[in-house]
Structure 1
Amino acid sequence: MTDFTLLPDLAARALGGGVIAANDEFFAEKENLLRPAAPVFQPHTFGHKGQIMDGWETRRRRPEFEDGDHDWAIVRLGTPGVIHGVIVDTAHFTGNYPEHCALEACAVEGHPTPEEIAGAAWVPIVPKSALRGDSEHRFAVDVEQRFTHVRLRIYPDGGVARLRVHGQVVPDPRFLTATAFDLAAVENGGQVVDASNRFYSPPNNVLAPGLPRVMGDGWETRRRRDDGNDWIVAQLAARGRITHATIDTSYFIGNSPGSARLQGIDATAGDLDAPDAWFDLLPRTRLQRDTPHRFRITTTQPVTHVRLDIHPDGGLARLRLFGAPTPDGLAALGLRWFDLMPPDQASAVLTAECGAPADWARDFATARPFSDESGLHKALEGTDPLVAARVRGLLGVNPA
């Protein structure tokens, strides 16, 4: 996927993102950075501190209160993952935008305070770069690590309207048990990888958390004037068996699809482009308007991807695909999570979760990536049996 904006916004408020700290927010609150709507501007709308701006804006830096040469804000990602691109939008900031910005990211355990996270191992993801006023700036990121927080630095001061952090979710398998959960949910690592149409709204909306609030929270296609139909293909968080599905048309009253069909495929055994490799999970079934539909799935074949066909077009609010990962699917998820951790976090997890000695933990973290179960088993040869068992248990990998 070459356009990183098609990937989920890991910092989105809907996913639980938040601005946890900023060194200054005199003119406009830091929380505005993550507002989902596009920035707006109403001329000559003044509050006690000046023109009201839809963004984060700091005071003009002066020697009497300076604590450095720039301002900053720290954002907790709603869903940790690999960042592929960042948008820094200075919309409506014309004479008061920063000259430059830079971004860093880090990965930490738990829910740290701003003071605790200040000492984390921050990794540069966007170097100091020039900004323009009233403009959207897109910065590609090529750091293959899983992060939990980002820090936006602006030089020296000024205002930024919005910050978007696009990437791929890498869920923490410690919060995913073998019982049924939503294998397609974006916060668990599900993702729409293809779609027939994105005219009114992005298809990843159907995998978003929570209940829809308005029609715009879902996915809607343009009206078709041919004999075809619209569809999406979702990649699941892990290879698994689906037990039930929800197809929700809430708020779609005059433009819901007439029917829908679900098909699955196991990409470890079949080609996504081979029509014969797909099999029915739910045959074409009538849909009602403005209704959450729940269906039992009786097919026991494991799947890695699901195709949802809607007939002929229209909009859906949500798609939920509940099930349990297969043992190899859970192991693959755990290994990817561990391989993508920054070294400091990986060492800390091995020490805290598995009782591993600090020196061994550092060496083991350095030996990554393991990529598959056999690589992990080989790396654990000669390790204390209790520590090795805990490591395999943490990652969901069965003994060799």
Structure 2
Amino acid sequence: MSTPENAGHNTTDFTELPNLAARPLGAGVVAANDEWFADKENLLLAETPVFQPHTFGPKGQIMDGWETRRRRGVSAEEPHVRPDDHDWAVVRLGAAGVVRGVVVDTAHFVGNYPPYASVEAAYLPGHPDLADVLADDVAWTEIVPRSPLKGDTAHRFDVAVEKRFTHVRLNIFPDGGVARLRVHGEVVPDADYLDGLMVDVAAADLGGVAEAASDRFFSSPHNINAPGRSRVMGEGWETRRRRDDGHDWVRIKLAGPADIAAVEIDTDHYKGNAPGWIRLVATDGTPEDEASWYEILPRTRVQPDTRHRFRVAPGRSATHVRVEVYPCGGVARLRLLGRVTDAGLAELRRRTAELDAD
């Protein structure tokens, strides 16, 4: 029997949404007013921040984060100091979307963290150059007000601004170091780009998201639709070993209602811990209604450390797909090649217009 759909791990914690500021998604730190002690690019590193005491470079202790020099005010002797009251860094998100929460992590910054921070966001279509991003006429919206920070702490800030953004600006008052910045939210893809294209409708950068899973003991189900191939076993989705007669599953919400033409299931790096079989079911109705699900790939034998490709017979469109693994194990990546339906594109255009309205 399949595990009931509402029995898996499903949470409203915003950190369970995709990190729009992830480098694999395409994010980058495009500018900072100062990065004297530690580079701005460290803000987006996926790895947990580390600290090695007594490791000094030409500018002092090497820190795993972004760190600015100490502000001393503006004077003729210090012309390099900006005449404002704080430092800042601008991040281009990997995909345009609605921000639901921000994490400002001051890990290992204890005597040199900023006492306050705020976050602003803006929507800049296309591929703006640096001058466009830093132009005075860019409309920045405050999504996290100036808030107190502590040292060596991951600060979580909920965001309740219903708008689509492509860039965020982290402001620290007056100066100091921040180890990591995470910007969690919902990707809102470009309907004009999707129109008529055969794409991976489960892809994270197009709005696909792992909504629920039966198990995430070894690694996150969000890895299953991440960009690129996995580099190591830990970059896939892996469950604990089952000792019963059940099976594990993960539910993926697609970029929009889509007609699926092909499936790719990659067990890359899973050698002694791949599933024995995999089955895919889909729904175009309410995901919690088990009767609405239908089979698109029957229970099929899969091999360890192998990229499997299957064609899907034309049929009903789908809004969600559930990957069922028998009995347990790891899947590195799932790709679902298909086209978003005309109705799905129309709904996406309606939502985008609503989010972008002044």
> TM-score surpassing 0.5?
yes
1:54 aligns with 2:64: yes
Aligned to 1:226: 244
Shift of 1:247: 0.6
CA–CA distance in 2 between the matches of 1:284 and 1:299?
A: 18
Task: Output aligned runs, 1:309-388, within 5 Å.
Answer: 309-343=324-358
After the TM superposition, which residues 206-355 of structure 1 pair with which residues of structure 2 at under 5 Å, given as runs? 206-267=224-285, 271-343=286-358
Structure 2 residue matching 1:340: 3-state secondary structure: helix
Identify which of structures 1 and 2 has the higher relative contact order when contacts are C-alpha pairs closer than 8 Å and 6+ apart. 2
Instruction: Give the whole-Å Cα distance in 2 for the aligned partners of 1:247 and 1:100.
Output: 45
Aligned to 1:150: 168
Q: Paired residue for 1:85?
A: 101
State the partner residue of 1:135. Answer: 153
Cα contact 2:194–2:340 (8 A) shared by 1: no
Matched, 1:35 2:45: yes
- The residue identity in structure 1 corresponding to 2:118 is A
1:342 & 1:11 partners in 2: Cα distance? 24
For the Cα contact (< 8 Å) 1:237–1:333, is it kept in 2?
no
Q: Percent identity?
A: 58
Distance 1:25 1:324 in 2: 44
Is the Cα contact below 8 Å between 1:201 and 1:221 reproduced in 2?
A: yes
Cα shift readout 1:103-143 (whole Å, capped 9, x = no counterpart): 00000112223332223100000000000001110000000
SS in 1 for 2:356: coil
1:170 paired residue among 161, 183, 188 = 188
**Cα-to-partner distance string for 1:352-388 (whole Å, 9 max, x where unaligned):** xxxxxxxxxxxxxxxxxxxxxxxxxxxxxxxxxxxxx
Q: 2:132: which partner in 1?
A: 116
Q: Distance in 2 between matches of 1:274 and 1:116?
A: 47
* Corresponding residue for residue 7 of structure 2: none
Tell me, what secondary structure is at the counterpart of 1:39? Answer: coil
TM normalised by structure 1 equals 0.83
What residue ranges of structure 2 are gaps of 5+ in the alignment?
1-10
Determine the structure 2 residue equivalent to 1:66.
81
Distance 2:187 2:309 in 1: 26
Deviations 1:191-245 (Å, cap 9, x if unpaired)? Answer: 1111101111111111111121111111111111211111011111111110000
Structure 1 residues without counterparts, runs of 5 or longer: 344-400
Q: CA deviation at 1:342?
A: 4.9
CA deviation after TM superposition for structure 1 residue 66, in Å: 2.6
Amino acid at match of 1:96: N
RMSD of aligned Cα (Å): 1.1
Matched length? 340
Which has the larger helix fraction? Answer: 1
Cα distance in 1, alignment partners of residues 86 and 244 from structure 2 = 56
SS of structure 1 residue aligned to 2:224: helix
Q: Does 1:192 align with 2:210?
A: yes
Contact 2:195 2:345 (8 Å CA) reproduced:
no
Cα gap change, 1:110 to 1:179, in 2 (>3 Å): closer
User: Aligned equivalents of 1:81 and 1:342: distance in 2?
Assistant: 14
C-alpha displacement of 1:58: 0.3
Query: Structure 2 length as normaliser, TM-score?
Result: 0.93
Amino acid at match of 1:14: P
From the superposition, tell whether residues 91 and 342 of structure 1 become closer, same or farther in structure 2 (CA, over 3 Å): farther
**Residue in structure 2 matching 1:102, options 118, 137, 146:** 118
Q: Secondary structure at the match of 2:255?
A: strand
Asked if the contact 2:198/2:338 (under 8 Å) is kept, the reply is yes
Q: Distance in 2 between matches of 1:222 and 1:342?
A: 46
Contact kept, 8 Å, 1:249 with 1:318, in 2: the verdict is yes
